[in-house]
Amino acid sequence: MAASRRLRVHVRCLGLLVARLVCAGRPAPRPAALPVFGHLADVGVGKLANGFASPPHVRMFELAQSAQGGEVMELQMGAQEWTVLSSPRAVHDAFVVKGGDLAGRPMVPSMAVSSGGGQGFARERPDAGLRSLRRAAFTELFSPAQVARARVELDAEAEALVRHLLAVGVVELRPALRRCVCNMVVRYAFSARVPYATEPSDGTDERVRELMETADAVWEQLTAPAITAADLLAPTLAGATHGELRKLVARRDALLRALIDERVAGGAASGVRGDGDMLDRLLGAGLTDAQVLYSLVDLFIAGVNTVSATLEWALLLTARHAHAQATARRAALEPGADLAYVRALIDETLRFKPPLLLPRMALRDTDVLGFAVPAGRVCFANSHALSFGAAQWTEPERFRPSRWLREERGLSTWGEDAPAGAHAFTSEERAKFIPFSIGQRSCPGERLARAELEAATLALLRAARWDAVGTVDLREAYSLTLVPQSSQALRFQPL
């Protein structure tokens, strides 16, 4: 009796082992690498030495296409092991089919400092706290009604940007666009703004100005090559290397706390008051104090430079491609404005200069397309590979907004029903264009981001034309998001 029970246990264990071996899959291809630095020495050098080597996302795509790599491959990025995904079917398998297994987020030391150890959306593991935040994000904070309510504010801010650009004439884009998007976000969150140098500044809340400047300085730290190198190569020494970041984060959080406390106390005297803005919604959503604070932090970390970088690319690309600018302007000025081409222009910008997708982390042993991905492994979907895969796109190297009205019609729906005559894309085919990612950790701010991009693009097209001062430089720098390598000026003229 005991012997047969033992036999049954052995058989069950053997079964589990076989199931695990089958599930765990075979090792993914791994290009040759140096000891200690691993592939960072090859892939990462493009970030540290901008302009002298292919940036990391391009180098990873080259490796994926080489005989040593593949659509799923392993890279050793300093102290971290990464699984890199370079095709829509690999990304679909990872983030949709195995979505629950790959819903973690690696917490590098700098992100841990900025997020209070992962108290907002930036959590290593999806837990009850993250679920309640994401629910609040989709149903309240960035719901269609909340974003539609803010549209008038976004349009007003976009018009202020255009007035500023036209007042200056030849303008360095990056600071102006950051100010515009920061103001959009701060109007959305606190009903406040900070004027441009070309506007009167009477009555500006100086704490809001300091908050913006501090949030900007935190971003500079988070994207500094030295911080990235310390995160990847010597995470245990980050206590010593991240001192300045800690100071800035403490100041940013103190300023945010003061604004929250004042709202709670009904402090109308500050001039910062809500009328159903995001802070009002946050305070009414039954969240903890930390969730309220770090959701606002996330708005600055995840919601400013992503949008302003996309606008920067859109302006540079349309300065280079005058025909696309003129076509979009005609569409924007039509009576009843045909938004389709304007949206196509934004989608083509997001495809041609694809924002980097944030790394995920495997929560348990799993596989992608049969290749083993052990628990704890960083999983990085390379958006550059998705955007430039020759099998997925017609002429991927050409900037061509009209593709979105032709062969790609219906691939990007802007949250609306697919237009008449749209192609029926499968869920796997859709994974070739995921600027906001897909699955359990996808971007909760997509609706707000798209509304901001549309408001700014329309306002610019309707009131100004722009062209290059010298040669437009479209080279890319790899950071937390993909930005133009140099901050450039364009010439703006009234229509």
Q: How far apart are the first and last CA of the chain?
A: 92
Cβ proximity to ligand HEM, 227 vs 480, nearer residue: 480
Out of 215, 307, 368, 386, which residue is the one contacting ligand HEM (CB under 6 A)?
A: 307
Backbone angles phi, psi at 245, to 5 degrees: -60, -45
Cα 153 from Cα 160, distance rounded (Å): 11
Should residue 448 be labelled a site residue for ligand HEM when binding is judged by CB under 6 A?
yes
Q: Which amino acid is at 377?
A: R
Q: Write the Ramachandran bin of 369: left for phi over 0, alpha for psi from -120 to 50, otherwise beta.
A: left
Cβ proximity to ligand HEM, 105 vs 432, nearer residue: 105
Contact 365, 69 (CB under 8 A): no
Out of 437, 457, 479, 488, which residue is the one contacting ligand HEM (CB under 6 A)?
A: 437
Helix (H) or strand (E) holding 169: none
Residues paired with 77 in a beta bridge: 38, 80
Out of 55, 235, 435, 484, which residue is the one contacting ligand HEM (CB under 6 A)?
A: 435
Cβ proximity to ligand HEM, 425 vs 436, nearer residue: 436
Should residue 299 be labelled a site residue for ligand HEM when binding is judged by CB under 6 A?
yes
Radius of gyration of the chain from its Cα atoms, rounded to whole angstroms: 24
Should residue 90 be labelled a site residue for ligand HEM when binding is judged by CB under 6 A?
no
Out of 343, 444, 459, 461, which residue is the one contacting ligand HEM (CB under 6 A)?
A: 444
The distance of closest approach from Cβ of residue 454 to ligand HEM in the complex, given in angstroms and rounded to an integer, is 11
Question: What residues numbered 325-364 form the site for ligand HEM, per CB under 6 A?
Answer: 355, 357-358, 360
Tokens of 304: 């400013």
CA distances from 291 to 115, 294, 352 (A): 10, 5, 35
CA-based nearest residue to 441, from 362, 387, 374:
362
Should residue 306 be labelled a site residue for ligand HEM when binding is judged by CB under 6 A?
yes
Cα 148 from Cα 143, distance rounded (Å): 8
The distance of closest approach from Cβ of residue 131 to ligand HEM in the complex, given in angstroms and rounded to an integer, is 10
Out of 445, 460, 477, 484, which residue is the one contacting ligand HEM (CB under 6 A)?
A: 445
Out of 442, 472, 485, 489, which residue is the one contacting ligand HEM (CB under 6 A)?
A: 442
Question: What residues numbered 468-487 form the site for ligand HEM, per CB under 6 A?
Answer: none
Should residue 324 be labelled a site residue for ligand HEM when binding is judged by CB under 6 A?
no
Q: Is 443 known to sit in a ligand binding site?
A: yes
Contact 372, 26 (CB under 8 A): yes
Distance of CA 27 to the CA centre of its chain: 30
**What residues form the annotated binding site for heme?**
443
Which residues in this chain contact ligand HEM in the complex, by CB under 6 A?
A: 105, 121-122, 298-299, 302-303, 306-307, 310, 355, 357-358, 360, 435-437, 439, 441-445, 448-449
